Amino acid sequence: MDEFAIIAKYFTPLAGESAFGLKDDSAIVPARAGHDLVVTTDTIAQGTDFFPADPPDTIAQKVLRVNLSDLAAKGAVPAHYLLNLTLPRTVTQDWLAAFADGLARDQKEFGVSLLGGDTGTGELSISVTAFGFVPQGKMVKRGGAKIGDAVYVTGTIGDSGGGLAILKGEKHALPDADRDYLTNRYRVPQPPVGFAQQLRAIAHASVDVSDGLMADLGHIAAVSHVGLVVEGERVPLSAPVEALWGAQALIRAVTVGDDYQAAFTAPPGLNGPFTRIGQVVAGEGVSLTVNGREVGIPLTGYQHF
């Protein structure tokens, strides 16, 4: 199958209205009056973000969702995406069909459509560029945290890192259901897309948690010129992560990456689909306490180099 046959068979059915059936050189992102277009891009590579034998529909979901989580953390509602694919020459029709099916399901779930992309050959690598909208001037930035704010996070932290550890062969005695829960979180992130509009209404600063909770909160601290204190006993951990890592669960969970949740600062005392995990103070950097005592953690989050 040549490149154009692949595009016509598997990707044209996913194309949005302004993609011209994936038969033109460029597409159009229809402007929305009174809105800013928010853009983000992420690549996933085999061995780092997924394993070659992972189910292809989950690989598709992951590359889309790691982008949707960036938009969600900015308070943006997703609309479209571009897909750049480098495929091994040995790729099968079954693989492509399952990959496209994963995209189709997520397009429905998140209300996005495909605008175009590029296809070439080489070691499997996949990039998505996603587009979303916020009312003009309302994107939630990393800067803006205020002293006295509370720090909140959506979802649970460390699940995906636990799944990766298991897939890499870390020994464990978990029941199958717990193991599957964690490996599914690694393969298919659960970004807080439906929370974006509420986040926009309450957050002073926000970041996508992708390189580790402590590391990503460090970006808010640096850009906002404040200090952040994370109260470890408040960090939401799932039962499978607690079972996997025991006494080490907190330290590992806040330093592994791949969570694709939103961490944000907002006035204290708020309730919603998120957990209060700490506060914004005068100073710099992020510290972790357990029952009021500071705990040392490895310095950095996930870094490629």
Indicate the residue among 8 and 295 with the shorter CB distance to ligand ADP. Answer: 8
Give me the least distance between CB of 19 and ligand ADP, in Å please: 7
Indicate the residue among 58 and 183 with the shorter CB distance to ligand ADP. Answer: 58
Amino acid at 228: L
Give me the least distance between CB of 111 and ligand ADP, in Å please: 18
- Pairing relationship of beta strands 77-87 and 113-121 according to DSSP bridges: parallel
Indicate the residue among 117 and 240 with the shorter CB distance to ligand ADP. Answer: 117
CA distance 32 to 30: 7
| Contact string (CB under 5 A) for Mg ion, positions 106-145, x = contact | ------------x---------------------------
116 interface partner picked from Mg ion, ligand ADP, none, CB below 5 to 8 A per type: ligand ADP
CA distance 83 to 60: 10
Indicate the residue among 64 and 166 with the shorter CB distance to ligand ADP. Answer: 64
Which residues in 141-153 are b (16+ Cβ under 10 Å) and which e? bbebbeeebbbbb
| Cα pseudo-dihedral 184, 220, 267, 263, rounded to 10 | 0
Give me the least distance between CB of 148 and ligand ADP, in Å please: 47
Q: Give the interface with ligand ADP as residue ranges (CB under 6 A).
A: 7, 11, 22, 24-25, 83, 85, 114, 116-119
Secondary structure of residue 73 in the 3-state scheme: helix
**Which uninterrupted H or E stretch holds 36?**
strand 35-45
Closest residue to bound ligand ADP by CB: 116
22 interface partner picked from Mg ion, ligand ADP, none, CB below 5 to 8 A per type: ligand ADP
Give me the least distance between CB of 3 and Mg ion, in Å please: 7
Indicate the residue among 116 and 257 with the shorter CB distance to ligand ADP. Answer: 116
237 interface partner picked from Mg ion, ligand ADP, none, CB below 5 to 8 A per type: none
Indicate the residue among 60 and 235 with the shorter CB distance to ligand ADP. Answer: 60
HEC sequence for 191-206: CCHHHHHHHHHHCCEE
Tokens 């059915």 locate to: 13
Give me the least distance between CB of 119 and ligand ADP, in Å please: 4
Sequence-separated (6 or more) residues with CB below 8 Å from residue 188:
58, 61, 62, 65
Sequence-separated (6 or more) residues with CB below 8 Å from residue 169:
none
25 interface partner picked from ligand ADP, Mg ion, none, CB below 5 to 8 A per type: ligand ADP
Give the interface with Mg ion as residue ranges (CB under 5 A).
118
